[in-house]
Structure formats: structure tokens, C-alpha cells
Structure 1
């Protein structure tokens, strides 16, 4: 097996222990500064409309209404109630009322957020409900609340995923959806694939173990904690299998994201935001059982690591295992995450951590099930049909190491430095049905061909991002600026080995008896592809406020892109001369960004945005050559609303994308040497559409995330492209906590509708269709006690048979039948 010999192997638990020891050792020297010398700005007045109720629920409502990033240990609020808070007042006054009689206080943290803790110096707060709230500490640049954990909400107060500025959804001149922790838990969204299948405007097209995520017909860039990463470009790192145990939320930008991503996709970007430590001890453990003999266990613990609370740590670990509805297929998953934060000073925060995930799949698929027999008739195979041999293996190991430094200056400016090292390894032994050409006999199932190979892959990604943001004064008004630079280096290789010399091993088989193909040894290397991609960029943006109702956002990015590939082939077991090729070198690519937001009134804003597109293609043509980069522009107009003090957000947008070097599958072309599909370039493509979304609290206890999207892409001859992607989609996820005596019960569910899709099969010239289809899921959670809850989630309630992927590898992939998960969760 061939691997890149670039880094030492460090066990994740050992790495986390080293981080904890190193930072904890330094932490005992960290200054234990007081957190009660500055107070919240009493001059800031907001309207509050919080009914009396459980303290934990009202703290979340207060955080949303005030725009404060507030975290608290659920056990502190358990069993406590809070009086109503109504009227226009300062955040300080509102906090006094929310916490009246609770014996708790709010304290500030060095990162500009707040936490709830037991009050100090109060003998008996229950007898002194009117005692003044202890002072609240605020950093010079206190950000709006972005943490979704503990908020109970299906929306967020702010996101910086589009511009690096902490703006509300209404202030961001692009289409944004944030899938937060509450929705992830309510809807049992265990992987990134689960999350994005519930995100408005996103198509999740499953090839095999891989899933392609697109918006408006385009792929999405990836970021982790706001830092662009190329790590998911590798076949060694399948993003759809990423566990959600580690993340607080997933921020999805739809539309060109070229300001923060040098290779800005017209589709947008996905930003994965990690969980952070809490100042007080908190956590939970959970177990679950599901259909097909699946089970899961998890633990999530967070606490301060020194008496002053200036060092905090968090550890997450989980294990899942079980079978599948697909014959001879099973999957296991192990996840570990450790992070330590240290307040080096009042204004400086150092964070370091490690993520580890191992996913092991037996009976794994590469490619799809055949659509047609050789006579042109449909295959109509069982839903449980597995297109790969029982011994086919797909095991992936991912390790991410990261260090962040965040400093807030006294002039309200902020400097942030993020560095990351990501390693990926894939072990893959496979016997997969070869769908090129389709020659399977409809009567007997004979004539099938299985390709047998060993196809390992590795990659290493190094990323660095540095930026500064803050206010400045011009013409008597205050504006905001961002300046930054980032660097990504992505080194990868993949190879193929065979049982045969000089040839791929393709064996005849009856497709109903793939188990007849035994796993051989693979002594003969066939090829190896090694590549390095580097992206460097500098960027800047301004948010100008000519007057209160108008915001003008302008920005630019200069990008440098290099991609080189070395190919090695073997003849008669001998390594041939390496052949070097360049997949592209682009220098000082200029990517402008512009957006305007006009506040019509206190609730509604109109906006427009424009972004140029520069996206290097990774797709290759029939000659195995990388297609030239996509270039074009994205234009969007819309209206956004912020209701009930930010508890509910709405939006409507229309958009148009124009591009050259768009890619589509090349018909009649066999897979490339690495097994991937060949594409061709299209000039003058145009995508048009509209979308509308709603997220947040519709009524007390009722949360919703919903969106309807129409998007169609045509080439320069007005022929519809991407026919295997739906043009119309509706996504709805909701939960409702019953009132009064039934308040321990929360019920809800989700609905996903998409319009019909089709695919012209390469060799039969037959077209496969799937009409419009609707999937329904249900959920219920019962709180046995303030600490213990039981939840039930049902997927595909009506047990609909449907394609979750069509045409990606000249075949189809079936979606999950009806299944369920029952879970128990205990909070500390």
C-alpha cells in the first residue's frame, strides 16, 4: 500500500493529553483577572417580550433578544423559574429581571462572551429578589451571540461566514442558513450528510459512500471555524461522513463565496463551527439503538481547568456501529475531540485542540447499481441490493490539529490567527460492478463485470488564516473593516494495485451472486497519482454606513493558485518514469465583492450583492486533463426580515449566475484511471432561480427551519443541464414544546420535497426518471427529569422507495427505507 510519508502518526488521545498538559501547565501562571470591573452599556435599549417560565428557557430567550453570547450549565437553572420581562430596557436591566431570586449572576469571559454562575457574596438571593445584579464584564469588542448550543433556537443572532464580520442574517447581503445545535439534536442529524439534506437549497447527490453537495447547481467550498480548507478535496476524506458530535453549528452560504474562499464556488460554502469549552462543569452522556442493529454511545464533558476559570477544556467521544438495509453492509464510527482554551490576558485567548474520526465500512460501495439490462429493460433490483462484494472495504482515518490565537485590542479591533494540520488516510479493497458498458442479461443476471482492485489514498492539508477586523471613523460615522490573508497547501496521492500484471482485474459474474468473487492479493501496482495544490490569498472588506439605514459592503481578494500532478505507471511490475503535468497556475486573480443592505424599517431590509467567480476545476476530461477554471459572476437581489427581536428570520432572494467552463458528465466515456467519471467543459452557462426561507421561533416553544428553492441551469443553447438535480425543493424541520402540564414533551418532524429528475444512461440510450417525491420524518422527546430525556426519531415514515443518487456513475443509489432511532440522554 502506498502512502505519503509526510508526518509522524500521533494517537488522538495522546495528542489531546499533550495539549491539555501543555496548556494547563501554562495556565496556572495565567492571570486570574477579575471578571466584574466593566459593566454592560446601559445606554443600549432593546424591547424584551419574555413570558414567565423555566429559567433555562428564559436565559436563552434573553440571549437571543439582547444579542449576547451567553452559555450556562443546565443544572444551574434546573427547577428554577424566571419572572416575565416586558418592555424597553437595557440588557443589564433585563438580565436583573431574568435572574431575580435565582442566586445566579452573569460573568464575562475573555472572548467577549458571557456565562452564568452561582452568585458570590449573596447570603440568600431568594429573599432578596431586588438586589442589584453583580457587574457584568464586557470586552472592548463584544461580539453578537453566535453560539447556538443551549439557545433552544433554530436560528442565530449573527454569523461571520460570508464577510468575517459578525453580522445578523438580515445584515448579510447573501442567502444564509445556519443549522444549529438544537436542530441537530431534535432532528437526529448525525452526519454532515444528514445536516445538508435538511438545509434549504442544498442537493445531496449520493454516488456511493461519497456524496456531492451542491447549491444552485454548483459545488460548495468548505471551511472549519471560518478557515478555508482543501482537505475535503481528497478521495481520502469524504465530507458527508463527518460526524456532528464535534460541531456547534453548520453555516451555509448560498451564492458565490469568493471573498473568503480563493476558489470561490458559485454555489457557496459550508462553514463547520466547533463546540467550545464552558466555564462551569457541564456535559452529557447518551446511548441509542436504531434499526438494522445499530447502536451509539457518546460523552461530552466541559469544565474549567483552574480555580480562576481562565483555562477551560472540553472532551467529546463517541462510538457507533451497526448494519445497514443494504445486503452484507455494516459501518462503525469512532470520534474523539479535545480542546483547551486559555485566557492569556483579559483580551487574549489561546485555543488548541485535536479532532479524530475513524469510519470503517464493510460491504462498501464504489460506483452504483445498474439501471438497465443489455436489452434496455429496467433492472428493478431489490432495495437491499449491494453493487459490491461482501469483502469490499472503505476505511477512513482523519486527524485535525488546530491552534487559534484571538486578541481584542482596546480600540475595539480584533486580531485572529488560525493554523491547522489535517491528515487523511483511506484503505480500500473493492470488488465493484463495472457499469461501462452495460451488458447484463435480463433473464439470468449473467454478463455482469466486477472490477477488483486495491485503491488506497492519503492526503495532508496545511492551512493558515490571519485577519484583523474592527471599527474606524470617517466623515463623522463609524464603519467596519476586515483585512486578512490565508494559505492552503494540499498534498495527496492515490494508487491502484491489481491481481494481474499490467491490467485491471475485471471478472465476469452473475450480479445476483457477487459473493462468488473472492478477495485476492494485489501484488502488482498499476499506477500512482501524486499531486500538490497551493492556494494563497489576501483579502479585504469594508462595511460602510453612509447613514443609519444603509450599509455598503465592498471587498476584494487576490488569489494565487498552483496545482501540479505527477503520474507513475508500472509495466511488468516495473515503475516507469514519472510524468509531471500542471493542472493549472493562476496568479493574482482579482475577485471583487459588493453588497448593499437598506433597512426599509425596523423589521425589513432590501439587499443586493455581486461577486466574481474564479474556481479551479478538479474535474477532468476524457483525456484525463483538468478542465480550465470556471469564471463568471453571481448577482443576487433579496428582502430579509428580522422579527420578534431576532427570534425569527425570513428571506426572499432571486439570483443569476453566468459562467464559462461549467462542467457536465461526458457521455459515452469510460471512467478515468482512478475510477472517477470524465466531464466536459461548457461555455456560456446560465443559472437562474429564487428561494425563500424562514428560521426561528414562530410562537413560544415552536421552532422551524424551512425553505423553498427553484433553480435551473441552461447551456448557451438553452438546453437544461444537471437533469439529475431537482429544480424545485422544499425543506421543513420543526419542533414544538407543549405548554403547561405537557411541557416535558416536545414533538416535531421534518419534510423534504423535490421535483422530478432524470438521467440518460450512457450505453443503452435509455432515460431513467424519478418523479417528484416527498419524505417525512417524525420526532418526539420526553424529559423524564431535568437531567434525563428520551427521544425517538423516525426517518422516511411512509417507507418510500427513492433514488438518493442518479447517474453519477451511470447508475443509481437507493435512499434509506423507514427506520428509527431511540436515544437516552443524561445531562450533568
Structure 2
């Protein structure tokens, strides 16, 4: 889809967009306009439509309506620039739905056929003139685009999200910092997994815990809350034996939404760093199929298929199936991964106002690698180089996830919506590893190696029900949401210990020359530790968006949460001498407040207050769980929306305070007892820019400044990662992609920059430091036709060597890699 911007040169427009990100103080020049028309073409919709289109830019609302209604809509995007639509929720004929979308905008419409309509400014006669070919100021140029999915936001450069609300809102309507990794960005950057997406998302730091699992951080704190289609799911910070933190394959997801800062209103005891929402792919209204084949320099081979469409002639039942296979080498010589995923979903319009959605997925990942990466010398320098493997040839980790889900939503005639969602997942893992767990002597290259064998499983159940809709009060319309959700995780862990008194089969070895035979674990009740943990959470939440005046919206909300956690140690071989525990919090209230003030048609100012309540696992000397971490975030900022929402920018100031962080009890210096008294604080700046700057030129990126510090030197938390490891003072990420003009318009070029300031970890003998570094990515693509494209992606193209520091090891970053990808649509 082409769009022309008139009134300034491309260089000038780029400079203006950048300045908007950094300051948001200068208005966008009014002369820049989109001058080409857009047409959405989808399959024919039923006579009555169920619309759930939120208030947003008029341009985005028209696209969402066309996608849902199956109507070709002809209009001049320059005429709708800066206009807002009140949206449409409820049951309508196509004519009624389009009329509702245009209410109050000064625009009119005319249906020129059963599945086509024209929008113009002024009276309906003006639209009629266009249809008859008479003189008109619009001079339309029709560009056809096909949108096949039932997700109205899939093709938008800045889609509405549910991550800050149960109903879709534009980024400008949410008083916190938001980023969205769209399907377009996923394909442009050739992203395969969630960790790769978040490594490229502004404001996020990804810490690799071991060969297969990752921790995500923003603003110096963990992102421990993961939603799927807006449903909070259980997450497990026990990184030693669970696969919950494994990065899922993105083949089954359309996009990734990220909210920075606390988000406990809908997630329960939310983590302070933020929340990630994964949006599953939806079943399309008309047949669509695509394939993707990739081959890369690091031994990567990828094959993906994606097929969907109507199942019955009326199109009221639709399905989709996605499959993905990915093999490739990892960083160190001889290490590899195998990733498999399959996903299927069915959607059924039970009535014009009721939608049922069912689905299931299965994924399996196998890795041959080491957990800890490369060891370090006692003088705090890495041992060997990036490619050297310090594990055994029998190392292997296997992670499997099976998931089923269902949702039922109904829209009432008064625009209220009721939705129920449920999800069940079963995860299991098998881990077989060696670990060089001491520092290496630089004079002899000697260190101690050990091994471990672990099995684990989790079953997770999550349910959510909510109602949302408008309420008229004091002559104004307001939006209310009320709901409840429940989650439960049942975790089973089995750890096998060595026989004969050597629990970890330890040996002193030369790290560059050793042959560590695979031990035999007997698996007897006397040398196997099995334990179980059951954690549940139930909450009731409410939220209201009060329209105080036309420009002023006040958001007030709160949640009451009940939390339970029961731990049962092994009855025969309790290796760590744990006691059975039964911990709970009852009726904990967490408030939320925000305000959004519309300065004009382009800019909004906002402020928000978010609370933090995070249970901890550390225990006091009387074996009671210590008090939870508590705190709050304050954020103020400005957001700008340009070109009908195709480009958004934001600037924010934030501060996060925490108290009750775990600190070792000074009365028991040689025992692992804790008291809740540690404090920490982060202050910073977030700048973001995302969308289309000019014809064919897109941008996605931002800059984050973190001033993170412990106000108590001994402060820690359950995740055990210091600010120095996960909160670089400066973090800058940007990606741009440009489709060349005129005769070269089949070609695209892209480039990305990732800049991180210094990271370090305190070891037993000092400090291990990774200086600040820069990596560069690039892309070139050729569009053979509208349905076939070939792309060559390069990551870390200048082969910058860098690592993530830890207390006794480092994890090296990926070397320079290239991947060639062929994509085809049918």
C-alpha cells in the first residue's frame, strides 16, 4: 500500500520526526499530508455486523470497519488526517456501522455497490459526484490492499492494544509507555522467538539465564507478567528447574505488546518492570495461505506454513493452522537447537453478536549447550573465546509445552461486552547438564566441574471474565470495566543426586582438556528429591475511564487479590531440609490512577500512578515468608499521533520506588535467613517513535535512560540480578526500513542499531565488566511480486564480541549471522 506525503523533502520529514521523539515540543508541519487513497478488500460480511471498534483516529477506524464489514472503502487519507472517530460497538448493518464511525467527523459516505463505499467531506452529493466521475477535489488514486484476518488491527502500523485495558485502546489513550512489535516488524527483522523480539524492543533488557531460558527487564526491574490475548498467565521465577521462562516460538503469534512499568490492575501481583502481551494469530474471513523458507550462515534452517479461511459457505466458521520447524547452531562450537511448533484455531459466529474461539498449540525445543556459558578466571576475565564449548557431548535440555484455550464474547445492543476466556497449559522439561561452577585458576586452567539431572512439570490454569461498556453520567459517556480472574500453577520438580556421597559427581579438570564421563543416576528414593508447589491467585478488578471534559479523561481502577502458595518437600530425601510451607495473602488492594489530557488533535499529556505488590520466597529465622515487596511508579509524559495514527511518538519521565526487598538477617550471618527491609529506586526517561515517517519509510525505536540504585547495599530480590547486570544507564534501539521509490520500488533496505552502556557483575574476587557496545543489523529485500519476496538479513554484521556478565560465568552474544528467506502467499 502506497502513501504519498507532500509538503517537505524526505530528509526534512525525517528530521522533524526525530525531533518529535526527543522533545515533542514542535508541532508537525501542516503541509505534510497523505494524498493517496486506500482500499480494504475482504470477503463479504453478513447483513448484520457485530462491531467492537474503539475510539481512535478516523483513518484507523475506517480500516478496521472495512476489514470487519468486507467493504471496499474509497477515501482521501489527507482529508481524514487529524480527525477522530468515536468508534462503533454493537450490531449494525454496513450502512449503520459506517455512519456510526463517521459521526461527528464532518465526513459523509455513499454506498456505490453492495460491497463498496466512498467517503468524502461535506454532503452526500459530493460523494455522488466522485462516483459519477465528475469534477472533485479528491482526485482519488485507488490502491488495493487485502486484509484477510479477523483481527481488525493486524495491518495497522500502530495497532490498538489491550495491554493497558481490557478493551482496545490506542497508545495515546494509555497513560503509560507502550511498544508494539507488529507482524511487519517481526518479518522485517526476521525475528523467531520472544527473546529475539524483546532484544530489539526499546527499553527492554534480555538476560540469558541459561542455554534455553531468559529473564526480561525494563526500567531495572523484572518483567514477570506474561499475558496471552490479554489473559494473565502464571509465570514461575524458579529458574533452576522450570521451563516457564523459555522464550516461545513466535510462529503462532501476530504481534508482541509491551507495557513498561507496573501493571498489576489486570495481572494481579504484577512485576514492577512491566508486562508482555502475546497476541495469537486469528482465523481469517477469506482463504489465505503462506509459506516461509529460510537458510542461514549459522546452520539455521527454517520452514513455516500458515493456512486459514472459512470452513462453511457463509463464512461464520473459520479456521487457521500454523506450523514451524527451526534448526540451527548456537554460539559455541558444536552446540545446536531444534525448535518445533504447531498451532490451530477455530472461530465461530454463533450469532451476529456472539463469537466463540477455540484453539490449541504444541511446541518442543531441544538444546545441546551448557547452562552457564563460559567460565571466568579468578582475575575476572573470560576463559577462552566466544566459540569455545566447555560442556560435555551428552548435554541436552528438552522443553515441551501443550496449550489449549477458549474464549466466548458477546456484544449487547447497548454496546456492553461480556467476555470469558480460559487457558490450560502443561509444561515439562528434562535437563541433563554439566557446570564448571568454580572460578578457573589462570596459571593452571584448573576448575571444578559437576553435573545435574532434573525433570520438571507444570500445569497452569487461567480464567478471566469481564464486562465492559459505556455508562452515561451527568450528560457524558464514560467507559466502565469490571471483572475477575483466577490462575493456578501446580509444579512438580525432581532432582537426581549422585550416589556414594558425591551429590554432583564433582571432578577437578583442565577446562581446555577434559573427558567427563556421563554419570549414572540411580533414581532411588534415597538419592532423588521430589517436591511440589501449588500457587493460586484470585482477583476482582474494576476500572473506569471518566470523560470529565472533551479533552480530559481520568482513569481510576483497583484490584483486590487473594494469593496462596503451598510447598511440600520430599518425604524421603529432602536434600535441602526444607519445611512444608503454606503462605497466603488475603484481600490485598492495589490501586491505579491515570489522567490523559488532549492538548490538540496531535498531542496528549498524561500522568499515572501504579502500585507494586510482589510476594517473595525468602524466609525469616522463624521460617515465615518475609513481607512482600511493595512500591509505586509515577510517570508523566506526552504522546503525539501523526498521519491518522500511522506514526506515534512519546516522551516520559518515570520513577519507581521499592521497599521490603530481601536482605540477609545480620543476626544470622551464616544462615540463609532474611528480613524485608531493602529499598531500591529507579528514575529515568523513555523516548519512543514508531510507524511510518514517509512514503515507504518506517521506523521503530527509542532511547531509555535508567538511574537505578539500591538504597540499601545488601538489597536483593527473588530474581537475584543486580541493577549493574540488567539496567544499563543508556539503552538505545532503532530499526528503519525503506521501500525504494519509482522504478526501484520492488527493492527494500533496512538497518538497525542497538546501543548498550556498561554492564558488570560482582564476583567472588572483584568485578566482571562488559564495556558499552554497539551492534548493527541490516536487511535487503526484493519483492518479486505482490505475493513473493526474497530477503537477506544480517545481524551483528560487524561481528561485535560482547557478553552478559554473571557471578562466575559469561554468556556470549551471537556472532555475525546472515539468513536468506523466501516468503510466498497464495
- Shorter-chain TM band: 0.7 to 0.9
How far apart are 1:192 and its partner, in Å? 0.3
Q: Residues 56 and 800 from structure 1, CA distance in 2 versus in 1: closer, same or farther, beyond 3 angstroms?
A: farther
Counterpart selection for 1:564 from 563, 566, 577: 566
Whole-Å separation in 1 of the counterparts to 2:662 and 2:531: 22
Match of 1:289 in 2: 295
Deviations 1:370-427 (A, max 9, x none): 2223xx2624411112232221111000011001001100000001100010100001
How far apart are 1:481 and its partner, in Å? 0.2
1:179 and 1:195 in contact (8 A); partners too: yes
Q: Residues 632 and 660 from structure 1, CA distance in 2 versus in 1: closer, same or farther, beyond 3 angstroms?
A: same
* Aligned-pair Cα RMSD in Å: 3.7
Matched, 1:714 2:709: yes
Match of 1:526 in 2: 528
Match of 1:819 in 2: 817
Match of 2:122 in 1: none
Match of 1:766 in 2: 766
Deviations 1:421-461 (A, max 9, x none): 010000111122123xx2x3323322x22222211110000
Matched, 1:640 2:632: no
Match of 1:164 in 2: 166
2:205 and 2:216 in contact (8 A); partners too: yes
Whole-Å separation in 2 of the counterparts to 1:569 and 1:509: 35
Matched, 1:226 2:225: no
How far apart are 1:83 and its partner, in Å? 8.3
Match of 2:106 in 1: none
Q: Residues 164 and 72 from structure 1, CA distance in 2 versus in 1: closer, same or farther, beyond 3 angstroms?
A: closer
How far apart are 1:780 and its partner, in Å? 1.6
Q: Residues 269 and 90 from structure 1, CA distance in 2 versus in 1: closer, same or farther, beyond 3 angstroms?
A: closer
1:640 and 1:650 in contact (8 A); partners too: yes
Q: Residues 83 and 689 from structure 1, CA distance in 2 versus in 1: closer, same or farther, beyond 3 angstroms?
A: closer
1:225 and 1:271 in contact (8 A); partners too: yes
Whole-Å separation in 2 of the counterparts to 1:294 and 1:63: 43
Partner-residue secondary structure (3-state), 1:741: helix
How far apart are 1:500 and its partner, in Å? 1.4
Deviations 1:686-711 (A, max 9, x none): 21111111111111211111111011
Match of 2:154 in 1: 149
How far apart are 1:256 and its partner, in Å? 1.1
Unpaired segments of 5 or more residues in structure 2?
Answer: 1-30, 44-55, 86-93, 102-111, 117-128, 134-148, 716-721
Deviates more, 1:461-470 or 1:61-70: 61-70
Partner-residue secondary structure (3-state), 1:306: coil
Counterpart selection for 2:375 from 354, 370, 383: 370
Whole-Å separation in 1 of the counterparts to 2:663 and 2:738: 43
Whole-Å separation in 1 of the counterparts to 2:767 and 2:229: 42
Equivalence map 1:172-183=2 (5 Å): 172-183=174-185
Whole-Å separation in 2 of the counterparts to 1:750 and 1:735: 9
How far apart are 1:281 and its partner, in Å? 0.3
Equivalence map 1:685-700=2 (5 Å): 685-700=680-695
Whole-Å separation in 2 of the counterparts to 1:285 and 1:505: 48
Match of 1:191 in 2: 193
Deviates more, 1:474-483 or 1:243-252: 243-252
Match of 1:96 in 2: none
How far apart are 1:666 and its partner, in Å? 12
Whole-Å separation in 1 of the counterparts to 2:395 and 2:664: 26
Whole-Å separation in 2 of the counterparts to 1:334 and 1:801: 29
2:377 and 2:441 in contact (8 A); partners too: no
Whole-Å separation in 1 of the counterparts to 2:595 and 2:97: 34
Number of equivalent positions: 721
Deviations 1:245-300 (A, max 9, x none): 11111111111101111111221100111010111001201110012221000000
1:388 and 1:514 in contact (8 A); partners too: no
Whole-Å separation in 2 of the counterparts to 1:620 and 1:252: 32
Whole-Å separation in 2 of the counterparts to 1:298 and 1:426: 24
Matched, 1:459 2:458: yes
Partner-residue secondary structure (3-state), 2:724: coil
Whole-Å separation in 2 of the counterparts to 1:402 and 1:277: 14
Whole-Å separation in 2 of the counterparts to 1:603 and 1:121: 33
Q: Residues 201 and 146 from structure 1, CA distance in 2 versus in 1: closer, same or farther, beyond 3 angstroms?
A: farther
Q: Residues 680 and 647 from structure 1, CA distance in 2 versus in 1: closer, same or farther, beyond 3 angstroms?
A: farther
Partner-residue secondary structure (3-state), 1:747: strand
Counterpart selection for 2:79 from 80, 83, 87: 87
Deviations 1:112-169 (A, max 9, x none): 9xxxxx98699xxxxx99389xxxxxxxxxxx99755334x2x22x212112132211
Matched, 1:797 2:797: yes
2:536 and 2:564 in contact (8 A); partners too: yes
Unpaired segments of 5 or more residues in structure 1?
Answer: 1-46, 94-104, 113-117, 123-127, 133-143
How far apart are 1:328 and its partner, in Å? 2.2
Q: Residues 319 and 369 from structure 1, CA distance in 2 versus in 1: closer, same or farther, beyond 3 angstroms?
A: same
Whole-Å separation in 2 of the counterparts to 1:552 and 1:88: 27
Q: What's the TM-score once normalised by structure 1's chain length?
A: 0.80
Q: Residues 89 and 626 from structure 1, CA distance in 2 versus in 1: closer, same or farther, beyond 3 angstroms?
A: closer
Whole-Å separation in 2 of the counterparts to 1:301 and 1:671: 60
1:757 and 1:771 in contact (8 A); partners too: yes
Whole-Å separation in 1 of the counterparts to 2:539 and 2:414: 27
1:642 and 1:650 in contact (8 A); partners too: yes
How far apart are 1:518 and its partner, in Å? 3.0
Deviates more, 1:691-700 or 1:625-634: 625-634
Deviations 1:715-737 (A, max 9, x none): 22589961123121001011111
Q: Residues 715 and 583 from structure 1, CA distance in 2 versus in 1: closer, same or farther, beyond 3 angstroms?
A: farther
